[in-house]
Amino acid sequence: MSIHVVMGFGPAGAATARLLAEQGHSVRVVTRSGRSPEAGIEHVAVDASDRERLAEAVKGADAIYNCAAPPYHRWVSEWPRLASSLCAAAEETGAVLVMLGNLYGYGPVDGPMTEQLPLAATGSKGRVRAAAWERARDLHEQGRIKAVEVRASDFFGPGVTEGGHLAARVVPPLLRGKPVSTLGDPDTPHSWTYLPDVARALVEVAGEERAWGRPWHVPTGPAQSVREMAERLAAQAGTGPAVVRRIPSAVLGAAALFSPLLRELKEVRYQFERPFVVDSSAYEAAFTVRATPIDEQVEATVDWWRGRLATAG
């Protein structure tokens, strides 16, 4: 039986680990704090940036999926050490390193984003994410490791509560029939990557040697503005027309004085001020995973949030 090690158990890590377990693989999840075991999944507590301890945790692995990331405000200081540790683990075990990436590394671009674009980010977060992949790619080209990166746009769907733009700040108010506030222009096109599709793409490329050595974009449906997505969610929930309000720049600036997250988001605010569209046609031409139809995405997301809010009271 093959051993698959998943780093991190946030939305993407949890979805990936559970998909692998459903497929009958032996699954080990590595997090700082560990968790209680669940069906088909072993949880171990290891700091992934500790090279020696991580090497021990991934012994015998056929694939290592990195779905972990430092806290958002510590990306610049902690990503390099984490990336180095992951590459060392992949080299020692011979496991394929499957990296979950994002689109920050491209920086602001005109037109849809493809994998052929240069990694030309001007901000520190984009540069540090680009550097992590470039290090893994260089080692792959040297024959020292096997690596592939799967890049997603903003996560959306069941399990996404924090970090995703269409998460706690948007869906719960819509389910209650209340207005929602959003960063940037609510009418500009934006790509949303459905979380289950992220997990399916990660698992698929791990087993496809022809995928290794380059980045791929997760199959993602046609771009939809925040307003369009809010209207779809409200219609599915039966809560009437969605009311979407843009947060004024002055309010954001004042709130950022007290919110570390809002201060950190300044670097990537362009993603919500102008079209932010991903082209996943290269992946779709080569492999089998396709974006889940948007109506199914919306239905599953509304159902999941209803269950979560009901449980929370």
**For the domain bounded by 3-154+193-217, which CATH number is listed?**
3.40.50.720
> What does the alpha-carbon distance between residue 14 and residue 5 come to, in Å, rounded to a whole number?
12
Residue 313: the pLDDT is 64
CB 170 within 8 A of CB 121: no
- Within the chain, all domains assigned CATH 3.40.50.720 are found at 3-154+193-217
> What does the alpha-carbon distance between residue 275 and residue 196 come to, in Å, rounded to a whole number?
24
Residue 239, classed as helix, strand or coil, is coil
CB 166 within 8 A of CB 229: yes
Q: CA 180, 181, 183 angle in degrees (round to 5)?
A: 140
Residue 37: the pLDDT is 81
CB 57 within 8 A of CB 248: no
Q: Which residue is it, tokens 């694939």? A: 63
Sorted by sequence, the CB contacts under 8 Å of residue 187 that are 6+ apart come out as 225, 226, 227
**pTM: predicted TM-score of the whole model, two decimal places:** 0.95
The class level of CATH for 156-190+222-277+293-312 reads alpha beta
- As averages over each run of 10 residues, the pLDDT of the chain (313 residues) reads 91 97 96 89 95 94 96 92 97 97 96 97 94 98 98 95 84 94 92 98 98 98 96 94 84 61 74 95 98 98 95 77
SS3 content of the chain, % helix, strand, coil (to 5): 45, 15, 40
Residue 258: the pLDDT is 60
Residue 256: the pLDDT is 56
Task: Please name the residue ranges forming H helices in 176-289.
Answer: 195-206, 226-237, 249-256, 260-265, 281-286
- Within the chain, all domains assigned CATH 3.90.25.10 are found at 156-190+222-277+293-312
Kindly write down the DSSP assignment for every residue of 297-311, as one continuous string: HHHHHHHHHHHHHHH
